Amino acid sequence: MQNSLFCLKNKRALITGSTQGIGLSLAYGLAASGAAIVLNGRNEERVRETAAKMRAEGHTVDYVVFDVTDQAAVQAGIERVEREIGPIDILINNAGIQRRAPLEDFAAESWAAILETNLSSVFYVSQAVARHMIPRGRGKIVNICSVQSLLGRPTIAPYTAAKGGVANLTKGMCADWAKYGIQANGLAPGYFATEMNRALVENEEFSAWLCKRTPANRWGKVEELQGAAIFLSSAASDFVNGQIIYVDGGMTSCV
| Enzyme catalytic residues | 159
Gap between the Cα atoms of 31 and 9, Å rounded: 9
**Which regions of 33-132 does DSSP assign to beta strands (E)?**
36-41, 61-65, 90-93
Beta-carbon count within 10 A of 202 CB: 10
Residue 116 CB contacts under 8 Å (≥ 6 apart), including other chains: 69
107-111's contacts with Cβ under 8 Å and 24+ in sequence apart are 110/158, 111/158
Gap between the Cα atoms of 114 and 112, Å rounded: 6
Gap between the Cα atoms of 42 and 133, Å rounded: 24
Residue 184 CB contacts under 8 Å (≥ 6 apart), including other chains: 126, 141, 142, 143, 170, 173, 174, 177, 178, 241, 242
Q: What angle do CA 157, 158, 160 make, to 5 degrees?
A: 65
